[in-house]
Each structure stands twice: as C-alpha cells, then as structure tokens.
Structure 1
Amino acid sequence: MEKLVQQQKAYFFTNKTKNYAFRIKQLNILKEMLLKYENDMYDALKADLNKSKHESLTTEIGILHTEINFTLKHLKKWMEHKKVETPFTHKGTKGYVRSEPYGVTLIIAPWNYPIQLAIAPVIGAIAAGNTVVLKPSELTPNCSKLIKEMIDATFDPAFLKVVEGDKHISQSLLQQRFDYIFFTGSTNVGKIVMEQASRHVTPFTLELGGKSPTIVSKYAHLPYAAKRIAWGKFTNAGQTCVAPDYIYVQKKVKKKFLLLLQKEITKLYKKDPLKNDDYVRIVNESHFHRLRTLIEPKKVIFGGQVHQGDLRIAPTIMDNVTWDDPVMKDEIFGPILPILTYDHIDDVIEKVRTEEKPLALYYFGTDKKEEEKVLSSLSFGGGCINDTLYHLANPHLPFGGVGQSGIGAYHGKASFDTFSHEKSVLKQTNVFDIPVRYPGSKLTESIAKKLFR
C-alpha cells in the first residue's frame, strides 16, 4: 500500500496530471473504456445484482457518459484562475484564486451501484488533476473484478490503480497518507473513515445516507406521485441511498394514493415480482435477513413475499406504521415502504426535525406556500418537488448530504471543486509602496484609522 501511494505521489510530482490536455486525454480514454467494456458491465451487474440492461444503462453506465461529456465540455472554464476584487487598502495588488489538485486521492466505492458510484468520483478526481487509488466493493465481486480488469488494461497504475479486497484492505488503505479521501457508504463506516482521516488531517468527502422522507400532500397530483414514488423506491430493489425511505401521506388522500401506488408497482414489476427476471435481488444473505426481519406481516398491505434462494424480496408496503416499529429505527435500504399518516404539515415538519438530517427529501404537492414551508423548515442534502431520485442525474446540481447523511458534494462542477484546493494568491506591485501599513508616525496612524474604520 505504501509503495503504491509513493509511486502515485512521484507521478503526481511530475506535474503531468496538472496539464489541461492531459486531463482531457484521460477523460476521453475513460469514456472509450466504458464503450469498449459496455457489454461486460451489463453482464457483471446482472451477475451481482440481477440488474436488467435497461436499469444498468439508466442508473449506472448512462450517468457516467453524461458526467464525462459534461466535464469535457466545461473543464477549460473550470480550470481558469478566478480574479477577485481589490479593496482600497490593497491598491497596487492583484488577487486571484487558482484551483489545484490535492495529489494522490483514495476513492472507496459501495456495492449498490457498483460501477456508477466507483467511476463517477474518478471523473472528478481526474478532471481536477489528481492521481487515484480506487477500492471497489467486495460485495459485488463480478463488478469489482471487471473494474480492475478495465482500468489495469487502460491506465498507468501510477496514475489510476484499482485495489480489490475486503474491509481489511480498506483499513490498510486508510492508514496510508493520502491527500484526499472520497468515501461512499453507510454512516457507521463513514465515521470510521472520518476518524482515520483525522490522523493525518486529510480532507475528505463522505457520501452517506439516512431515512429520506417523502411527503404526499392533499395537493399532490396523485397518479404521478404514485408512479414516481414506485419507481424511485423500488429501482435497484430499494438499495439506493436516496430512495424514499418512508412516506407521510395526508389523511384525506391516503386511500386513493395507496391504491394508485399498488397499481404502479404492479405495472413496473408484474403481479409476481419474484418471478420477474429483471427484478433486482438483495446483495447478500446478511442484508436479506436484516430486511426480512423488518417486515411485520400484520402491517403488510401489499407484497411481503420473499425468496431466500435467490435473495429476492417483493416490493412491500406496510401501513399503520409508527416510529416505534423496527422498520423506522434505521435506514431501510431495501424494497420495504412504510406508510405514516398526517393531518397537518406542521406535524410532519416537527417530527422530521427530531430525526437526523436525511440525504434526500421528496415533496409532492402543488401548493406553493406549503412547498416553501417544507423547503425552508427542513434540512436535507438535496431532493425533488413532485419527483424522486431525478435530481442526482443532473450534473448542474451538486449531490451530497448534510450532517449524518454526508459531508461535501459532487457531480458536474461540484466534483471538480471537491477534488480541488482553492489556492489564494495576491500579487503585489513593485512600482510603489503604500507606507500606511508600516508603523512610525502619527500621520500614518491617523490615515490607518480612517482606512480601517
């Protein structure tokens, strides 16, 4: 590990990665690599999670192409030095900010979107001029192996290297002195990463999760709300960090909404999802058993079927749920959707405020005042009005959490900024020198008082 970091540090110190042409070339090479191995990625995602080709394209591979194309288009402008204004006290100087790469970066990726969430931050790291050590998740072994094969065959390991392994390998990597750490995963593991980073005072980004609320008001367009929530919740079998974790639905529209929601789930995954060849499975037995224990049969109003043999859990809706139920204690991260009921939006706001700040929040409604009340009253990483998940695919929108749901953001320019240090520079003139800053006379003291007050 130490040798690898030193090798990348030596490569970084050649200054090759800081060159605009070099960065553009590497991004184009990355894009060509994705095209070359596209069918292999479909196969690996199918093998690890049973993802269909359509879901793999729209939630993994397609997003990466969008991200690369966006970066290629805007990188030159992002790299320009930013001039700043000069106050009267600094006459004769010029100030500017230049974005410089941190150096050798470590990216630790999760298993739920094993290709997209591994490569997306790499795009930002390359764009900013860094070298990268990438650690894919061992829980999706086919994707991990493919990512290593692709990158080993494409890039110089002194510039971009994949290290496979379990949590012990991650721990060994975290003991090295990287210049920046980017982690995507659970809050509990994120705390460990944060602790390890503090040993070397290494800057970091944590992309975590949490219980993301969805609010369906009486002002919602119910058919669209049901359709978009069904898609957002059960895509990837609910194994999405920004999936709707639970729904607060207004009492007056609850019955109609739940009927529409069940109808939309059936449209997406057929009457028997467990026999649907394109329905995603749970990543492993440990997560399967954890999710299975959260299902309370008496509260299930739709779904609830499980099949341990191929680790599948049907899209499940649980009604009459309370905050004391096990399903409400932690992030679900699976195809189980609890329903809570409310009368007044103030009650929802008051309760959500008592919980940790979520990674996402979704509000369905057409009342502008209520919409503004929700947005201004609740803190969350990002979200949508009248939709779910879609915000994370817009490269113009920074994506990240707040508090327990994460630190920092990425996507588009935010990725470039995340992997860059903004270095401030002041350039002084040699044509003249302003004496007021130097002590020595009552005149300069008098002038200084006027300038600084």
Structure 2
Amino acid sequence: MEMNTIAERQKAFFEKNRTKSYEFRQKALFRLKRTILYYEREIQEALYQDLGKSDFEAYMTEVGMTISELNYVGKHLKRWMKEKGVLTPLAQFPAKSFEVPEPYGTVLIMAPWNYPFMLCIEPLIGAIAAGNCCVVKPSAYAPHTSAIIKKILSCIFPEEFVAVVEGGREENTALLEQEFDYIFFTGSKNVGKIVLKKAAENLTPVTLELGGKSPCIVDETADLKLAAKRLVFGKYLNSGQTCVAPDYLFVQESVKQKFIEYLKYWIDKMFGTEPLKNSDYPRIINEKHYERLMKLIEGESIVKGGYGNKERLFIAPTVLDNITEHSPIMQEEIFGPILPVLSYGNLEEAEAFIKKGEKPLALYLFTGNKKTEQRILNTISFGGGCINDTIIHLATSRMGFGGVGASGMGSYHGKRSFDTFSHTRSIVKKYQWIDLPIRYQPYTRRKKKLLHLFLK
C-alpha cells in the first residue's frame, strides 16, 4: 500500500472519533499485551536471530519491560484521561477553568535496531493510550524482529488504526514526506536532523531520542569493586549497543589501576575468559558496524579484550587505557563493547572535559561523597542517569526518559508517554448569570482602580 494511502486512511479513521474513548484505548492495550505474551517465544527467537540475544536478556531488556509498561499504563490510563480542574483568576469570575488532554491524531513512530522490539512498542503504547492512530516503522537492520512486529500488530489492529511499514531508507524517506500530526524518532543524531528538518516543513512536533558520549565518573571514595561490577553490566549489555551505555570512563588517578583490575575481574566473572564462546553474549548488528568498531581499537593500548570474530560478528569486551581527548575513539559515539579509560586528578578536570562536549544522554557517577554528588548534578547538563549504578534509570514507568540538546528532545515512559502523544487543551467555562463590566469600554478611572485590584 502506498504511504499516502495509509496516511489518508488513518486520518479518516481518526476523524470518526473511535480512538478517543477510554474503552477503545484500554481494549487495544489489552489486546496488545495478550498478543505479545502469546508470541513471546517468537519474539525472543527473532531477537536472537538479529542480535544474538539470549532468552534471559531478551526478556529483561525488551519483552519484560514492554509488558511492565503496558501494565502501568493500563492501570493509570483512566485517571490520566480525566479533565483536571485549575484555579480561576479573580479577574475571570465567575468561571470554571480546566485542562483536557486530546490526541494529536496520526503519529509516525520510527524505531532503531539495537532494542528493536522494546523501542518500537513502548512508544506505540503511549500513542495508543493517548488516542492516536499510528504508523510504525521498525528498523530494517533487525529484519526478524521487524517481521514479528508486523505479524503481531497486523493480526490485532486494522491498518487504518495501526499500520506497520517495513523496509529501509526508501520507505523512511517516503514516510517523512507524509503529513503526520506527531513524529517519534529513536536513532542516530545524523538521521534525527533529517527527521527534524522534514517535520519542520509541516510544523510537525517531534520527539527525538538520540544518543551521544555518555560519561561514567568514578572517584576514590566509591566502592570500587561494586562500581566496576555495575559498570561492566551497563557497558557490555547488548554488546555495548545501548544508547545509554557508559561511553567512556573517567576514573580518579589515585585509584585508576586498582579499578582497571576490578573491571578485568568482572569481565571474566560475567562473560568468562573466552567471551566469544559465551552463548549469552550478543553479537554486533552487522559487518559495517563490526569493521567500524574494530578500527577504533587499532593502535590503542589494550588492557582487556581487543579481538573479535568477523565471521560471527562478535567483539570481546574491551578496555582501552592511556586514552586522551584526541584519541579516535573519543571523536564519536562508540555503540559497542569498547570502554576507553581516561583519568583525572581533581573533579574540575572531569567537569571541564564533559562540559566541553555536547550534552550527553546519560551520566553515571560512582562516589561516596554527597558533596561530589550534588556538585555534578548542579554543574553538568545531561538527559538522565544514575548515582552508583548504570542504565537502570530508564527501566521504570514512573520517570520520564529522554535527552537534552544534541542527545534528544522530549521524553516518554509511563505518564510522560501519554503526555508526549497528547495535546493539553486549556478551557475556561464562563458562567452567564453575571457579567462584570470592568473589561468593556468605555474605560474609566474607577475601572482602572478595580483592574489594578484584580490583577495584583
């Protein structure tokens, strides 16, 4: 079906107002949850075929998080949809003021390949909960997951409500030529710029979930062994192909060597001394990204890993020492299982380095010093993050997740998803039993005095 046909059919369906009722939205979310659970085995198999994800990691980072989001949104949706009363200014007496959320209309959701199921379905949950019609575009780099997403959504929703468009750049380009009421994009900064430019032509609001070089700071007061354990988990999850993965490590010089030894210890403990034989360790998405990552390792001081298997697209968890701000690996987002290590003497050095770059999507701080904690939170701008852990801040429906500056705009998860895909109308209902004359001409000195009284 042509892209403009899909878009027009969805606009026509939305105009019927069927998606606006609570019963319609709740039923759609329930059917989505039930069908995901029914196809859980096939979803996990698709994630294994595309990325080599184990059943455990597939459920922990994709299927389980999606089900959790569905449960949370379903539980709170009725309350979110209700009008919210607000105080009316004395100058508008007598009147009632309230806010009412309404759906934007037709929404385009463009998903990435690194968490191809979760990062496609979670925004869809918010769009459906808000009462929109949706066109979903899964990533062509994860074709098996794209296929199961199409299978699931096609069997429970008509295309005029939720449509799935598979394909690559040609399909992406054609979709961006259509007039949607909202666009939600997750992916790289370069493609995000294209999406934003296209959206601007139609004055279409957007959410951009991008990435960047997210730092991890470890100072000498931290529990070093525990910090290394949690850093290794967050960095090498999904073989480092996570938008909020710690991109590089800033460790205080006084504990650097000790911390590196802990990193090596936990890599062996979690992935084995021969990680490429670990059946639970994911692979790199394709040969292009494999070659890019291996090139970043060339010529660097390798203290752990540093090798791969091109045929199977595996790269061992890698740690690089003696890295500087001018090293090739510090010039781009890594998005792979390579951890460059930099050191600092005092906190000002780390702060200055991070602030010199673009605002990161995430920041992680390991410290036992509350003053250090507050200082970092007050002086560095970033999308979100953790103190004494990594990446878990996005694994909740009770907080929004999103970037700032070059790492993105807008946020979602839970109530934030509902708000993202809703326009909030502000309404004043003026009562008719009295009409104060103060605002009407002719303006008199007495009216001016009353005006000052009302608007103080």
Partner AA of 1:279 in structure 2: Y
What amino acid does structure 1 have at the position aligned with 2:382?
F
> Which residue of the partner structure matches residue 182 of structure 1?
184
Cα deviation per residue 1:114-142 (whole Å; 9 max; x = unaligned)? 00001010000011000110000000111
TM-score (norm 1): 0.99
SS of match in other structure, 1:197:
helix
| 1:424 matched to 2:423 | no
Tell whether the 8 Å contact from 2:215 to 2:362 is kept in structure 1 after alignment: yes
Runs of 4+ in 1 over 6 A off after TM superposition: none
Q: Could you say which residue in structure 1 is the equivalent of 2:455?
A: 452
Q: Which residue matches 2:82?
A: 80
Residue 409 of structure 1 aligns to a residue in which SS?
coil
5+ residue gaps, structure 1: none
Out of 137, 140, 157, the residue aligned to residue 139 of structure 2 is: 137
**CA deviation digits over 1:79-136, x for unaligned, max 9?**
1111111111111011111010000000000000000001010000011000110000
SS state of the match for residue 394, structure 1? coil
1:116 partner letter = M
CA distance in 2, matches of 1:445, 1:217: 62
Residue identity matched to 1:158? E
1:307 to 309, 315, 318: 309
Structural mapping, 1:9-158, within 5 Å: 9-158=11-160
Q: What one-letter code is carried by the residue in structure 1 that aligns with 2:215? A: P
- For 1:266-312, what per-residue CA distance to the aligned partner results, in whole angstroms no more than 9, with x for missing partners? 11111111121221111011111111110034411100011110111
Choose from 316, 320, 326 the match for 2:322.
320
Indicate which of 357, 360, 364 corresponds to 1:358: 360
**The residue matched to 1:226 in structure 2 has which SS?**
helix
Conserved 8 A contact 2:116-2:139: yes
Which residue of structure 2 aligns with residue 291 of structure 1?
Answer: 293
Following superposition, the deviation at residue 390 of structure 1 comes to: 0.4
- Kindly state the Cα deviation for residue 65 of structure 1 after the two structures are TM-superposed: 0.6
- For residues 445 and 281 of structure 1, what CA distance do their matches in structure 2 show? 73
Secondary structure of the corresponding residue to residue 70 of structure 2:
helix
Aligned-residue Cα RMSD (Å) equals 0.9
Give yes or no for contact 1:439–1:445 (8 Å, CA) kept in 2.
Answer: no
Q: 1:439 to 1:270 in 2, by over 3 A?
A: same
**Post-superposition shift, 1:397?**
1.1
- Please give the per-residue CA displacement for 1:33-87, whole angstroms capped at 9, x wherever unaligned: 1111000011101111100000000000000011000001111111111111111
* TM-score between the two structures when normalised by the length of structure 2: 0.98
CA distance in 2, matches of 1:344, 1:408: 34
2:156 aligned counterpart, secondary structure: coil
> C-alpha distance in 1, partners of 2:202/2:368?
49
Aligned equivalents of 1:449 and 1:217: distance in 2? 56
1:6 counterpart (5, 8, 15): 8
Match of 1:230 among 208, 225, 232: 232
Percent identity of equivalent pairs: 50
**Number of residues of Structure 1 aligned to a counterpart in Structure 2:** 453
Structure 2 contact 300–321 (Cα < 8 Å) conserved:
no
CA distance in structure 1 between the partners assigned to 2:384 and 2:55 by the alignment: 28
